[in-house]
Amino acid sequence: MSATLDRISRVRISSVTLPLATPISDAKVLTGRQKPMTEVAMLFAEITTENGLEGVGFGYSKRAGGPGQFAHAREIAPVLLGEDPSDIAKIWDKLVWAGASVGRSGLSVQAIAAFDVALWDLKAKRAGLPLAKLLGAHRDSVRCYNTSGGFLHAPIEEVVERAAESVERGIGGIKIKVGHPSHEVDLARVTAVREKIGDVPLMVDANQQWDRAAARRMCRALEPLDLVWIEEPLDAYDFEGHAQLSAAFDTPIATGEMLASAGEHAELIRARGADIVQPDAPRVGGITQFLKVMALADHAHLGLAPHFAMEVHIHLAAAYPREPWVEHFEWLDPLFDEHLEISGGRMHLSGRPGLGVTISEQARAWTVAHDEVRI
């Protein structure tokens, strides 16, 4: 009897443009490096097997790159046909080599991520298990914090109000953006939120906009506010600078969301550039690569707080040995028929198999391009 019991017979990819209700600004906008964000480009992959099983996965891009991800995914999608969907690591290697001339990080692996997530979703569905349980969960819920209410385009009164609302809804922590041209404005905003929410966990995110001197000054000024972490105080690739801050201050340093491969995370961890690593599965090439980052982070005794995409990251965070955090954004809610339960400061796994989500009709309506290959 053959060990291969099923094969991939059909692959559909879709580019979906998700509009945001309000243009979003962080420190990168205030420094003139980026424009306000008005939409998120989603890349969906739907993989079907000869036995009729289906897996759904997705990746995304903000501000730019969505059409490029879709184009690359369309070129390499035929590589999946005829493969055993359980051989996920083998398939990942085939996909990355199919596009190796454009590299093994960044956009090329982000296009692979949608396929990879769909394969893990399919594998867990075949087993009749939530993905976290297939991976081996350490917990059925994960601490969660909200970011979407703390952007710099919002006046502090709104940020404070939304922080309080999030806590009342059962969210366990609040993160707000910093990196304003005025350090005094940053400190006033963080202090106002701290005074409003009391001892609720509070994080800040500078989105890479400080230089080393400014970061040292701000880390020192923020120490009395008892923050869970200070995120991306420096350029994402300044591993040495992040390591210096981690060694100099009591407040943990968090970074990693902008790194675009497992290899880049390995360098960050080797440099001791973070107390808390923040990998993003769609950005590093999917769940297969994220699991490599998780293993390295655990071996280095680091905290874990995956970036964005909570629909995927709830499962991965639940499988991390050390108590992690997961980031709450409601932005992707319209794309799925199901939504995650939040209470008691935690995001809860559902009993649904796989990722536990299905693509909504609204997402179908927002589709701007699609393609399909089949045997």
3-class DSSP assignment, residue 373: strand
Rounded CA-CA distance 43/324 in Å is 27
Please give the Cα distance from 193 to 74 (Å, whole number): 45
Residue 106 has pLDDT above 90, yes or no: no
Question: For residue 280, what pLDDT is reported?
Answer: 97
The CA distance from 19 to 362, in Å, is 11
Question: Is there a catalytic annotation at residue 242?
Answer: no
What is the pLDDT at residue 65? 78
pLDDT at residue 32 tops 90:
no
- Kindly give the residue spans of alpha helices, DSSP state H, lying in 170-276: 183-197, 212-222, 239-248, 262-270
Predicted confidence band of residue 371 (pLDDT cuts 50, 70, 90): very high
Buried b (16+ CB within 10 A) or exposed e, 57-75: bbbbbeeebbebbbebbbe
Query: What is the rounded average pLDDT of the residues 237-252?
Result: 98
Q: Provide the pLDDT for residue 64.
A: 83
> CA Rg, the chain, in Å?
20
Is 75 among the annotated ligand-binding positions?
no
pLDDT at 344: 96
Q: What pLDDT does residue 301 have?
A: 98
The active-site residue, picked from 177, 242, 265, 315, is 177
Average pLDDT over residues 13-32: 82
pLDDT at position 360 is 95
Task: For residue 208, give the DSSP letter.
Answer: T
Query: What confidence tier does 60 reach under pLDDT thresholds 50, 70, 90?
Result: very high
Q: Residues of the chain with pLDDT > 90: what percent?
A: 83
- pTM here is 0.95
Q: What is the pLDDT of residue 153?
A: 84
DSSP 53: -
Is 348 noted as a catalytic residue in this protein?
Answer: no
Quick one: DSSP state of residue 360?
Answer: -
Helix or strand run (H / E) with residue 91: helix 88-98
Of the residues 307, 313, 315, 328, only one is catalytic, namely: 307
- Whether 169 shows a pLDDT value over 80: the answer reads yes
Judge whether 8-128+360-374 and 132-348 match in fold: no
* pLDDT tens per residue across span 140-156: 999 999 988 778 888 89
Residue 146 labeled ligand binder: no
323 belongs to an annotated ligand binding site: no
For the chain, what is the mean pLDDT? 94
Return the DSSP state at 153. T
Among the CATH numbers 3.30.2420.10, 2.60.40.1240, 3.20.20.150, 3.30.390.10, which is that of 8-128+360-374?
3.30.390.10
Per-residue pLDDT at 104: 81
What are 165's two structure tokens?
């609302």
Name the burial class of residue 263, with classes exposed (0-12), middle (13-18) and buried (19+) by CB atoms within 10 angstroms of its CB. Answer: middle
Q: Is 19 exposed, middle or buried (0-12, 13-18, 19+ CB in 10 A)?
A: exposed
- What is the dotted CATH code of the domain comprising 132-348? 3.20.20.120
Percent of the chain at pLDDT > 70 equals: 99
| Per-residue model confidence as pLDDT tens digits over 177-196 | 999 899 999 999 999 999 99
pLDDT in tens, 252-303: 999 999 999 999 999 999 999 999 999 999 999 999 999 999 999 999 999 9
The answer to whether 28 is annotated as binding is yes
Quick check: 27 pLDDT over 80?
no
Query: Which pLDDT score is estimated for 103?
Result: 77
Residue 231 labeled ligand binder: yes
Domain residue ranges of the chain, discontinuous segments joined by +: 8-128+360-374, 132-348
